[in-house]
Structure 1
């Protein structure tokens, strides 16, 4: 299942993508389930609501099955006709993981960490594919970092590695945009890692069953068509089960929580000399079996 949100005026609507078609879940519910309860109506309002509703994913699967039986219906839309937004909004937590690829640590000259490097990110940073990355007017050191993004599907607390994947919903593509001079000035990560529009994510959330084994997924990033990063999740220091287990032992992970899992070699800061994003650049992140995230950089309006 590919869960997405698409733009309709100034709002986002929840959809499920099957091939080149998207089922508008709210419209499908009205058309196909006239006896729907208030709870079911609320469940299809957004990705966050769907994941936090009892039986939400089962409801979505049923609506998709019914809708695709009559693909000419008004609630079945061509994917190409839609402008997608962030695949989830209002997550309780957005968590960043740093220093998590051996090749990136090597290019930076850093030691392998013994514990997961972690930092908070905020909702102001979260945007979708086709949304702009805003280049702030108080920095010229804006970097890219292609990352596999995790989305939690079940409430998790004190989970061991062996059970961790049971609590994962799926994956998305991410670009953790970093304002390097702000980060260095603080000697911390927060100010440089969560500025407006600096956590693009998308184009959708692919459920884990469609991806299978995530331990060797190719991750690529290009700027204006020129490849900058080409790595694999096989290079992670801490793998996906370890990441989920680790965080669950310090706070409760809830459905819809988002985790950026670190970047392989080739990020801006690791290049010699470093290269920075500027207004007019197009950044593309593509992750095997997950999708492609595309964002254009624009100057901040004065």
Structure 2
């Protein structure tokens, strides 16, 4: 199942993708088949709430989709709606750094003995086709294609064997990074958490449809040129271990996102280095999940605004 959040007019809806170009409004589908499927459960329009209730929601949607007949209930065209980030309000966005061996080599860093963990914040989230904004104070903005885990069940001190049961599905994240901030600050928070620096989507694909998450081709194109190309079988730390490792310290909640690291080919590792500029087009494709596409633009400041530069006072 491929689930999306989208807007049509002023309302936000939860939808299921049918093929590549069609979308079903799940609330409308529920209303249409209410006499055929007797159920007191009401589907939410918020993805996080859906994931929190997934033990009831997923079987119900599967039943609705099994009833679905395009002759009775025509699907909408995805080009007629605005696809949003599938989840905009996770409690946590957790990222794993240096999780592909060749990426460690290109950044001149030793492979870690344990996962390198950092965070992003919800202000960084944007969806498919939205614009990545270049901060006014950074000239070294980079791209990172990543497979992201979507947690579906509260996880605290779980084993690697138990981790699979805590996963709802997977999506794509671009771990956009301001390298000049990342490496001059001494820690990575500011360089990783600028507005628009966490494009995700376009959908969340349930784990049963993804299959083995360690056998997925992953690639990133910049203006049509392949920059990153690998397979998730090359992850240093595998997904069950990552979930278990994190759960020993923090309680993972439904809707939490965990980006699993990026393969080699990032801009900072190239000679000459490649930094994002206005007008660039990025697309990340992960097998069995889809393609996340974004454009790049400069942050537009307001003329004569006192906010155009840092203000200091004693």
TM band (smaller chain): over 0.9
Residue 61 (structure 1) shift: 1.9
TM-score scaled by length of structure 2: 0.90
* Equivalent residue, structure 1, for 2:50: 50
- The offset of 1:10, in angstroms, is 4.0
Q: Distance in 2 between matches of 1:27 and 1:47?
A: 16
Shift of 1:288: 1.1
Cα offset for 1:71? 4.5
Question: Is contact 1:223–1:284 with CA below 8 Å preserved after alignment?
Answer: yes
1:199 Cα offset (Å)? 0.5
Q: Hey, what's the Cα distance between the residues in 2 that align with 1:110 and 1:31?
A: 56
Alpha-carbon distance in 2 for matches of 1:95, 1:210:
23
Judge conservation of contact 1:83–1:130 (CA < 8 Å) in 2.
no
Query: What is the match of residue 60 of structure 2?
Result: 59
Partners in 2 of 1:94 and 1:294 — Cα distance? 20
SS of residue in 2 equivalent to 1:55: helix
- In the alignment, what sits opposite 1:4? 4
Q: Is 1:132 equivalent to 2:140 in the alignment?
A: no
Query: Could you report, residue by residue, the CA deviation over 1:237-292 in whole angstroms, capped at 9, with x for unpaired residues?
Result: 10111111111111111111101111010111211222100110000000111110
- Secondary structure of the 1:259 match is strand
SS across alignment from 2:82: coil
1:82 aligns with 2:81: yes
Partner of 2:210: 211
Q: What corresponds to 1:13 in structure 2?
A: 13
SS in structure 2 opposite 1:298? strand
Distance in 2, matches of 1:143 and 1:90, equals 24
Q: Distance in 2 between matches of 1:270 and 1:71?
A: 52
> Judging changes above 3 Å, is the alpha-carbon distance between structure 1 residues 300 and 232 closer, same or farther for their aligned structure 2 residues?
same
Matches within 5 A, 1:288-299: 288-299=287-298
Give 1:1-302 correspondences, 5 Å limit: 1-19=1-19, 20-33=21-34, 37=40, 40-41=41-42, 43-53=43-53, 55-66=56-67, 68-73=68-73, 76-302=75-301
Q: CA deviation at 1:163?
A: 1.9
Q: Secondary structure at the match of 1:103?
A: helix
Structure 2 residue matching 1:89: 3-state secondary structure: coil
Q: CA deviation at 1:80?
A: 3.9
SS in 1 for 2:30: helix
Query: In structure 2, what is the Cα distance between the partners aligned to 1:228 and 1:115?
Result: 27
Q: Distance in 1 between matches of 2:44 and 2:132?
A: 28
- Do the aligned residues in 2 keep the contact of 1:151 with 1:168 (CA within 8 Å)? yes
Contact 1:282 1:296 in 2 (8 A): yes
Deviations 1:172-225 (A, max 9, x none): 111110011111121111100011111001110111111211212111101110
Q: For residues 113 and 12 of structure 1, what CA distance do their matches in structure 2 show?
A: 41
Classify the secondary structure of the residue corresponding to 1:59.
helix
Q: What residue number does 2:308 align with? A: none
Please give the alpha-carbon distance, in whole angstroms, between the structure 2 residues aligned to 1:133 and 1:207.
Answer: 26
Q: How far apart, CA to CA, are the structure 2 residues paired with 1:157 and 1:10?
A: 38
Q: CA deviation at 1:13?
A: 1.1
In structure 2, do the counterparts of structure 1 residues 245 and 138 end up closer, same or farther at CA, with 3 Å as the change threshold? same
Q: Distance in 2 between matches of 1:10 and 1:234?
A: 42
Deviation at 1:160, TM superposition (A): 0.9
Shift of 1:155: 1.3
